[in-house]
Amino acid sequence: MPRTPPGPQPSPSHRLDLRGCSSGWALLKLGQLSRGLSPGQRLEVLGSDAQMARDLPMVAASLGLRLLNLGGGRGEYRFRLIKQTHPGPGEAQASRPVSTTITDNPKEKTMSQLLEQVPETSHVVDARGSACPGPLLEAKKAIGAVKVGEVLEVISNDPGTKGDIPVWATKVGHEYLGHALGDGCERIFVRRKK
């Protein structure tokens, strides 16, 4: 990943301070701001969420932003990005995962995929307001009502759910498809395989 080179850097035309924001909220705000940027405009993003720091480079690419450099330390991150004229090679397509990150947490040794386009679901579990392990228990109960090959959507605002559901799905033989950002929540998708 590029690091800040020595010497003066051009000033960004926009600054987005996301320190204290969760990864999902931060990436949503980045998406909103990037739509208003013109090609060549520079953006500086400040953050303090480690998951955001891992996801941002891949999400930025899908938004037509190129990472110029990365700085920070002591739990704070600074990304400098530039809006590209058109997508670069190897960037995500609309129906593919925007972000693919392997987490460092042993409990979450699974892929975290931020989806731009959500799959069609046959069953939805709204677990907002339910604390861990509530969303996982509700997903385990609901998967029985889903036919093989169909998709279960779990909506949760508990931060642990995004790590718990993929681990559980993989362990029991279902397919974790990824997650999407909702309004103050995560939408997690699992395809029943057996």
Rounded to whole angstroms, the Cα distance separating 52 from 26 reads 7
Q: What is the pLDDT of residue 99?
A: 37
Q: What is the pLDDT of residue 181?
A: 81
Q: What is the pLDDT of residue 125?
A: 94
Rounded to whole angstroms, the Cα distance separating 122 from 45 reads 37
Rounded to whole angstroms, the Cα distance separating 107 from 115 reads 22
| Of 21, 28, 50, 132, catalytic | 132
pTM above the 0.75 mark? Answer: no
**What strands lie across the sheet with 42-47, from one edge to the other?**
14-18, 42-47, 76-83, 65-73
Q: What is the pLDDT of residue 2?
A: 44
Element spanning 187, H or E: strand 186-191
User: Which regions of the chain does DSSP assign to beta strands (E)?
Assistant: 14-18, 42-47, 65-73, 76-83, 97-102, 111-115, 123-126, 151-156, 175-181, 186-191
Q: What is the CATH number of domain 97-191?
A: 3.30.110.40
Which residue positions in the chain have pLDDT lower than 70? 1-10, 72-73, 86-112
Q: Is 185 a catalytic residue?
A: no
Q: Dig out the tokens for 133 from the structure.
A: 């392990």
Element spanning 164, H or E: helix 161-172
Task: Quickly name the fold that domain 14-83 has.
Answer: Translation Initiation Factor IF3 (3.30.110)
Domain segments of the chain: what residues?
A: 14-83, 97-191
User: Which regions of 58-150 does DSSP assign to beta strands (E)?
Assistant: 65-73, 76-83, 97-102, 111-115, 123-126
Using a 10 angstrom Cβ sphere, with 0-12 exposed, 13-18 middle and 19 or more buried, the burial of residue 171 is exposed
Identical fold for domains 14-83 and 97-191, yes or no, is yes
Q: Dig out the tokens for 81 from the structure.
A: 């990005």
**Is-cis flag, bond preceding 133, omega within 30?**
yes
Q: What is the pLDDT of residue 73?
A: 67
